Structure 1
């Protein structure tokens, strides 16, 4: 049997979960099609998903198409849960992008398709809801070609749009117009086919065209487009045939070295961790001891106590999981999302397709006695979604989480109440800024020379570094001048300390160089270096100075009527947005693009429908960080505050020197 790991992606409400149900029903996995509105779908298993009618967590379900086992992964469509989609992209062999025939290409559709094309994931497009009033054929194709993928081709025609009898009729070898369009499209990417097309006056054998269509779809060069309805089943048979014929099966040597990626972690009924692993090579068996974790983490290892794989709609116990398949593994107690299992996949599984969260909020338990339980619960949630990035403030006894949007906040609140019995509220959502060194700065403290109370000599220089380069640590002293453990203690402490700069924000990009070192061969410990480094580093950073930068989104608003433009532009000015020149579409509609601070995106989302009479469609995505205009916002510190020497020493050594 071939295996295909298939992702279903879409903008919210385009119908991807309904399409999943229809595919499962057509394959005989389920007897009755579930309803998103009724909360009876196969993949939306969380109570909150059923209540809200949206997908929050990715879910895996399996079905067969002839000789192909399809592991179908249903993903969230709401932009607040984009991190869940990102993790799925690393395990896909192919994808189906669902577009509504009524609403057309929407903001999240474009974000997702850009990621799929960038990663060269073979993708079919399914235009859903052709039975709904307002469904469009030509406009949908035009929108897909203009906004998603220029090399898209309709695989059939749709009739009776907007009625319950709407149907999709696939093209075949007898349709001269289709074969001509197909040959022209495929010839753009294949010189041999182009030559045959020219020499034979366009008469390329149809079987050759279909084979080349499968090859180019498999290389993500072209994107076949199907129309249909997940509710009535129209077009689903044609899509199923396209999945089988045009998307490539998983590859990998089951006898090779073990190599896989953890893309999801959940807890079982007894609280045990269950890791969802896509295997790229090798075979993992029950009772195997397997290494896992990122390079440089000291190496973790666990004994696999149980395995399940996905077959015919459900997960079933198995003695092993082999290359190309997805398995659930028990026994890896310390496993985290993103961990490689065995050898890291080569090339490494893709990551970082979407920007990290740019918002945060403080989670407040309803009773002070719930603080311990709250931290434990949020820690478990962070295992399932590492990007919520818990930030513990031991001084104020508070914990913060990172967010993509307000809906995510509501989901966290409901999950804590339903799964852990903890009622919480949230402080006002704020943006997450960063600090960048404004220049270079140096500082040092010498052992046994006041005011240094520690048995260590540390000198550090901080220099700016290119955006996105991360924190680099280097030496201008001899590596043999003191034990390696002391250098390691300095480097680790530098990276930890830079989580909070002069204004309390992370310093993500800089070079820190150790310029002085020294120790007492009898009395010095790594703790001396860990305690002294924050004082020296923050002194150097203070001399360098930092600039606080806020996240900025690139936005696009489509469907602005001419009479709404005059109201929208003043609003953008109040929100500190910088729009470009409006682009006219005909005589009555405009598109506006520009930049807007991330802190103002939610306000624009709330006010746009009123200003544009519901016609304006907003698309926004993180673009970059820009220096804050005016007085920068300080973030409360959660450490011992090395910027305040007396306070720091009181907390670290219980005295002031």
Structure 2
């Protein structure tokens, strides 16, 4: 094979074929043609579609990698730079100002005859909801790992989110050009921290002296892939056979890595064993690359292993092979299990992917565009969604018309006539559809009658809130409209009004989340408002049983409305609230004007209303068990509204006699520190922050994973790696209120070397002194 030198010619970019074996040079068209190529339904079958996401910890290089993908695919004319604020994927003003991803942007482009729908997700813990709804509709994911920091806190979080939906993944170990980067150590951390079986497909080829990276050794094809240092955009690279005479040390490690790859695949895939003995005569190097790729695809789709690639996206090294791996190893929509849907009476059904089936689509994201209005992102699981179609929302039971269909390119869009099965697109014109809603055609009577709904998206409970006040009375309407749009865009944002103070309160996932909401209100929606001090969102419960009986008796529009209810309220250890209905008679018999289904719904509505506000500070109730002992009816005077009100009033009255108290959010904290900092960090967590230390373990603890050995290349080429020492991880349960500003404190205690992760594990009781101080603070 002859090496080929590639260059920029005129108004087109020439690159080596991504397969790199035939020496074929192809021309990629510029932006306009790339978009038409990406969205033309005639060019692609479902099997040639990839719905993928980029997931990782903040600052691991997700957006940097995404921008290179777009450039090499011919979608952009220049590589976007986060520092310069000209990235395609991070287009919001707040994203460019802070240099982080806030909004999960979607873009479509073509690569090697395939359509790739790419979603770049945030890495900050406050925007977990963005990752959750993106992962819900992805078929595969690229996990970007920082070669210096290794597997970081939020990487573990997003990995678990992908695990929940059984998303096949490949990994790209980034930033190997930086001092202290260690590819082998990062591979080991994947095995130890993520419980993922890594399969190393590449070895980094460093520049002389071990500084910087200039290419990779491909263990599948046994070739070197070297980027031309004179082409700083990384578009020119050369593939050559890897031979022992070129670099004996690299050859020796490549042979070791190829052997380990074949043996690891043989443990998980029977087909490669046959190839190994029948075609390769037991020689690891003789196993054909095409057979290895097929085996790698099978084990990846089955979530048995994770192919691992390496490079340095910022230095434009290693990104094209990642795109090849997306095509080779990640699934098409046809490779994923059928979508699961629920119907009336708790029945379930599988929705097989089919272009000729009935339409079934999931709305997974809503954004507000100043010119177009609400943009609803959908994934079509079955059938086709044509423009101007009349849709039925089985979640809200409303009809709506799809006025326009769009293919998104981050901020920009292209109008399209149809969204096919397996694809992601945007609908313009839907006013009532929200995140997690299911859409079918309005003439699909079977789906409407059975109330067919795809599994929805889990929305996390917000942990922080703040008051928001308009600067003038004339601003109230504008603020309310802006908040309606924000809560529709981001379901983890909640807005309510405090009954006692009359203040409008807004809640979110964290300090940065609320800060972004404030910025968007002022800058995007042009509202004039002031946001108050951020506070913790507590919960309330009872410490003793409480019993109450009330009768709701009011006249509504000249008609008598009456019902009575008796309830018993008890504390429980169960984190979710419980309800038990103990009625001696069928109420539908005594209330012929009401159906039993309507009565049950009215009871449920009253139950939820009663638990929505506690007796101490008005926070929602948690860890309680409600027993409805009796419902008193009064014939035609008993309405559904009266039943709901009587149940709610009885719960509120029982709570006043049940010794109410406050609960505070409890966090599971993992603080990773050097050994000589353990004492000061433990003292801070257990003393100042009122936490309880659960345990201590080392990051290289081999008992944390299975006994299976995994291959990881040595990191001896990097000068700082030998100085690496395993850190100690402190596990503790700490109140959320004590963790505010902890990142700065941990940096101070550890000289900048400590890092931590935390997640909500529930709500715990607080001391009476602490409760009194919280009540005093909240009531001013």
**TM-score, normalised by the number of residues in structure 1:** 0.88
Unaligned runs of 5+ residues in structure 1 are: 637-657
Secondary structure of 1:226's counterpart equals strand
Specify the alignment match of 1:599 in structure 2.
737
Distance 1:518 1:619, change over 3 A: closer
Specify the alignment match of 1:654 in structure 2.
none
Specify the alignment match of 2:457 in structure 1.
351
Specify the alignment match of 1:84 in structure 2.
130
1:478 to 586, 606, 629: 586
Secondary structure of 2:381's counterpart equals strand
Alignment of 1:112-511 (within 5 A): 112-160=158-206, 163-174=211-222, 176-190=255-269, 205-206=287-288, 207-251=290-334, 252-270=353-371, 272-294=373-395, 297=396, 299-310=397-408, 315-342=413-440, 348-349=454-455, 351-352=457-458, 355-393=460-498, 395-438=500-543, 440-445=545-550, 455-463=562-570, 467-472=574-579, 474-476=581-583, 477-480=585-588, 481-482=590-591, 483-484=594-595, 485=598, 488-503=601-616, 504-508=618-622, 510-511=624-625
Distance 1:122 1:527, change over 3 A: closer
Q: Is the 8 A contact 2:372 2:428 kept in 1?
A: no
CA deviations 1:106-131 (Å, max 9, x no partner) are: 11111111222232111111111222
TM superposition shift of 1:3 = 1.2
Count, aligned residues: 628
Specify the alignment match of 1:39 in structure 2.
85
Alignment of 1:27-66 (within 5 A): 27-66=73-112
Q: Is the 8 A contact 1:359 1:404 kept in 2?
A: yes
Secondary structure of 2:732's counterpart equals strand
- Are 1:548 and 2:662 matched, yes or no? yes
1:533 to 647, 655, 664: 647
Distance 1:471 1:300, change over 3 A: farther
Distance 1:595 1:408, change over 3 A: same
Instruction: Give the Cα separation in 1 of the matches to 2:698 and 2:633.
Output: 70
Q: Is the 8 A contact 1:110 1:148 kept in 2?
A: yes
Distance 1:347 1:140, change over 3 A: farther
Deviates more, 1:395-404 or 1:51-60: 395-404
Q: CA RMSD, aligned part only?
A: 3.1
Q: Is the 8 A contact 1:462 1:513 kept in 2?
A: yes
Deviates more, 1:248-257 or 1:179-188: 179-188
Secondary structure of 1:231's counterpart equals helix
Q: Is the 8 A contact 2:394 2:452 kept in 1?
A: no
TM superposition shift of 1:457 = 2.4
Secondary structure of 2:295's counterpart equals helix
Specify the alignment match of 1:611 in structure 2.
749
Instruction: Give the Cα separation in 1 of the matches to 2:517 and 2:166.
Output: 33
Instruction: Give the Cα separation in 2 of the matches to 1:561 and 1:364.
Output: 48
Instruction: Give the Cα separation in 2 of the matches to 1:448 and 1:242.
Output: 68
TM superposition shift of 1:386 = 1.1
TM superposition shift of 1:509 = 5.2
Q: Is the 8 A contact 2:668 2:759 kept in 1?
A: yes
Q: Is the 8 A contact 1:90 1:349 kept in 2?
A: no
Instruction: Give the Cα separation in 1 of the matches to 2:333 and 2:509.
Output: 32
Instruction: Give the Cα separation in 2 of the matches to 1:183 and 1:137.
Output: 20
Instruction: Give the Cα separation in 2 of the matches to 1:402 and 1:605.
Output: 22
**TM-score, normalised by the number of residues in structure 2:** 0.74
TM superposition shift of 1:422 = 2.4
Q: Is the 8 A contact 2:743 2:755 kept in 1?
A: no
TM superposition shift of 1:257 = 1.9
TM superposition shift of 1:149 = 4.0
Secondary structure of 1:90's counterpart equals helix
